[in-house]
């Protein structure tokens, strides 16, 4: 989208907003408050679709409502789970607005950027703040290894002038541990407006990253409980939870075990639920995310469909998924 068209879309979205409903969001949270909102099983927003490929905003609202009632203190929009790869810039803005509106101050809202240039990312930061998002997950572009640690830190700083920033480490996966840690070192020293980090690299990087930045930023692990438990002794506050969005008893049992320092119980929950669930769902046609959208249909939260060309489960595959969930006592 050109800069002019993006500005027009930006203004149109602002026209839809009733600012009187969002005065409660105007108070800027401090770092300790943000850490508290991320110290939980965090709900990652998965964009639901209708069969014709249109965004199912009714199901999006239902998804948010379910996740808040389940106990997630943050509604987190992400480039991956929210399927930015299938969305226009205007749709990303509209999803952000709807999530904020449905959340209605009952949880923190983390908006997210696409891999945009700095100027466009700053524009979206202003928009996110205006519609009521509390923080913004910033994903820097890095095509062809075009960035340096310093230029990425400058990208964060430009955005942080307008809204608190959450760093996401997926951009370091193809650059390696040393590049990622050096970028985070520079950013933590030079950019006061960074408040949190979501780790997608995990494992050895997750431990080293937590030791490096946890005293300044809230740290959440991406994906699964095992990644949280891996980094927890080194300084990891919360994690992106799959189960909090459809079977919260499992997520909340794990979190209660963590809070009571019952590591054996936490380990057993990972063994009994996470490992078999993720091993099975990864075998489905269309991958993990196709399975997740199928799960939401089985739990009457959203429909199975994803926008083409992404694959959606057929009836036979849905029956197979339901059978597995019933066998494990999840459905």
The residue with greater pLDDT, 12 or 286, is 286
Lowest mean pLDDT among 2-11, 90-99, 263-272: 2-11
Give pLDDT tens digits for 200-251. Answer: 999 999 999 999 999 999 999 997 999 999 999 999 999 999 999 999 999 9
Give pLDDT tens digits for 114-144. Answer: 999 999 999 999 999 999 999 999 999 999 9
What pTM did the predictor assign?
0.91
The span from the CA of 248 to the CA of 72, in Å, is 9
240, two tokens: 């992106």
228, two tokens: 């949280």
Give pLDDT tens digits for 211-221. Answer: 999 999 999 99
Under CATH, domain 3-263 is a member of which superfamily? Answer: Aldolase class I (3.20.20.70)
| pLDDT attached to residue 147 | 98
Q: How far is CA 160 from CA 41, 118, 130, 153, 262, in A?
A: 25, 11, 14, 10, 37
Please give the average per-residue pLDDT across 168-179, as a whole number.
97
> Is the per-residue pLDDT at 145 higher than 70?
yes
CA 200 to chain centre: 11
The residue with greater pLDDT, 11 or 197, is 197
The span from the CA of 223 to the CA of 203, in Å, is 12
Give pLDDT tens digits for 269-281. Answer: 999 999 999 999 9
**Domain limits, the chain:** 3-263
> Is the per-residue pLDDT at 9 higher than 60?
no
């Amino acid at each position: 989208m050109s800069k002019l068209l993006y500005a027009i879309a930006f203004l149109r979205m602002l026209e839809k907003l009733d600012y009187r409903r969002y005065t409660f969001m105007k108070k800027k949270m401090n770092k300790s408050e943000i850490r508290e909102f991320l110290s939980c099983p965090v709900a990652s927003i998965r964009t639901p679709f209708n069969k014709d490929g249109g965004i199912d905003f009714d199901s999006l609202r239902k998804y948010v409502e379910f996740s808040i009632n389940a106990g997630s203190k943050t509604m987190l929009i992400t480039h991956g789970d929210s399927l930015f790869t299938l969305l226009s810039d205007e749709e990303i803005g509209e999803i952000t607005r709807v999530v904020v509106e449905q959340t209605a101050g009952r949880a923190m809202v983390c908006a997210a950027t696409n891999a945009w240039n700095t100027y466009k990312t700053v524009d979206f930061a202003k928009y996110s703040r205006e519609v009521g998002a509390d923080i913004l997950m910033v994903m820097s572009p890095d095509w062809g290894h075009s960035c340096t640690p310093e230029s990425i830190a400058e990208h964060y700083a430009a955005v942080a002038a307008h809204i608190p920033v959450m760093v996401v480490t997926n951009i370091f996966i193809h650059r390696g541990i040393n590049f990622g840690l050096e970028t985070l070192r520079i950013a933590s020293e030079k950019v006061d407006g960074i408040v949190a980090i979501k780790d997608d690299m995990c494992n050895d990087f997750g431990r080293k990253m937590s030791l490096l930045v946890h005293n300044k930023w809230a740290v959440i692990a991406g994906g699964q409980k095992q990644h949280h438990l891996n980094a927890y002794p080194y300084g990891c506050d919360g994690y992106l939870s799959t189960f909090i969005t459809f079977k919260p008893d499992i997520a909340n049992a794990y979190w209660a075990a963590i809070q009571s320092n019952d590591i054996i119980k936490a380990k057993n929950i990972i063994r009994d639920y996470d490992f078999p669930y993720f091993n099975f769902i990864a075998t489905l046609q269309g991958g993990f995310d196709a399975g997740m959208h199928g799960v939401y249909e089985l739990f009457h939260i959203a429909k199975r469909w994803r926008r083409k060309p992404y694959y959606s489960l057929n009836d036979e595959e849905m029956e197979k998924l339901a059978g597995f969930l019933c066998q494990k006592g999840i459905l």
